[in-house]
Amino acid sequence: MLFLPNPHAPTARLFAEADIHRLADKAARTGWLLVIDEAYHQFSGTDYAPLARANPSVALLRTFSKAWGLGGVRAGYLLASPEVCNVVQNFVPPFGLPAHTAQILLAVLESPGYVQGIVQTLVAEREKLFQALQKHPTWRVYESQTNFLLVRTPDAAAAYQGLLRQGILVRRQDHYPGLEGCIRVSVGTPQENQRLLEAAFSLAEVPHA
């Protein structure tokens, strides 16, 4: 079994579609399962459901935590072949979904278009934030297909503490190999993003236009 987050976290990048199809073909030929975690797929506009329908060796994981903004209910779901679902069902405890969680999900699913507006707003704000942070003198921001940005700083600990002192909470990523100096910045409201920019540029001690 191979788990592949797409878009990837914490890099916020997409794997090439051709590479994913090659992995899916290999899985079908050799009898293993490719599990694609699509937690952020609404923000990238990707959808591998057709691939999973056509190839029983592909399964998808999705969540209500990201685009739906329901991280507190801890709810997600699996899209897979009947054979895979039957195996997974054997490991799921009875009544695994709390009644209040089920009611919340039923309520939000009555308005399927609700999340589209949220995604459009966050994607637009993500691009504005990306463009602005590209002007930072010491930080390097990477392109994103999620609702967060990966930023490489000279010192992740200093950036984290400096932002925290100004009321901005980010997540350090410098404990991952190859991500030395990196922090992860979530995209927020226009007001929150502006506060982040002001704090980020103040740490560099340069004026922010």
The widest CA-to-CA distance across the chain, in whole angstroms, is: 59
Question: For 25-60, what is each residue's pLDDT tens digit?
Answer: 999 999 999 999 999 999 999 999 999 999 999 999
Angle, CA 121 vertex, CA 116 and CA 127 arms, to 5°: 125
Walk me through the domains of the chain, giving residue ranges and CATH numbers: 2-109 (3.40.640.10), 114-203 (3.90.1150.10)
Cα end-to-end span (Å), the chain: 49
Question: For 133-178, what is each residue's pLDDT tens digit?
Answer: 999 999 999 999 999 999 999 999 999 999 999 999 999 999 999 9
CA-based nearest residue to 58, from 10, 112, 1 = 1
pTM here is 0.88
CA-based nearest residue to 180, from 208, 209, 152 = 152
| Gap between the Cα atoms of 139 and 141, Å rounded | 6
